[in-house]
Amino acid sequence: MRESVEMRPWLRVRVAGAWRLAFVLARHDWPDGRGGVQVSIRLPASDLGGYVESFCRTYLWDSGAMQVPEQE
């Protein structure tokens, strides 16, 4: 059975000045203490005339550019 969108962990990521919803695919922890998250995020695609497409991105954790929503 496919996991519903509501059950996937998610966070808000600030990209190019806008907050965007991102679904978490994986968490990465490096030996030097850095952390990152791999997410599926919808972003404008410049080669498609600005249409929004889904991309897989890995971001280093930045509390100023990422927000974890309160879980219900």
Per-residue model confidence as pLDDT tens digits over 2-40? 555 567 899 999 998 999 999 999 999 999 999 999 999
Residue 1 pLDDT > 80, yes or no?
no
Instruction: State pTM to two decimals.
Output: 0.77
Handedness of CA 56, 61, 64, 70 (dihedral sign): positive
Q: Is pLDDT at 50 greater than 90 in this prediction?
A: no
59 has a pLDDT exceeding 60: yes
- The answer on pLDDT for 43 being more than 70 is yes
Position 37 scores a pLDDT of 96
Q: Is there a contact between 41 and 24 (Cβ–Cβ < 8 Å)?
A: no
Task: Give Cα 71 to chain centroid, integer Å.
Answer: 16
**Contact yes or no for 53/42 (Cβ under 8 A):** yes
Contact between residue 24 and residue 10 where contact means Cβ atoms under 8 Å apart: yes
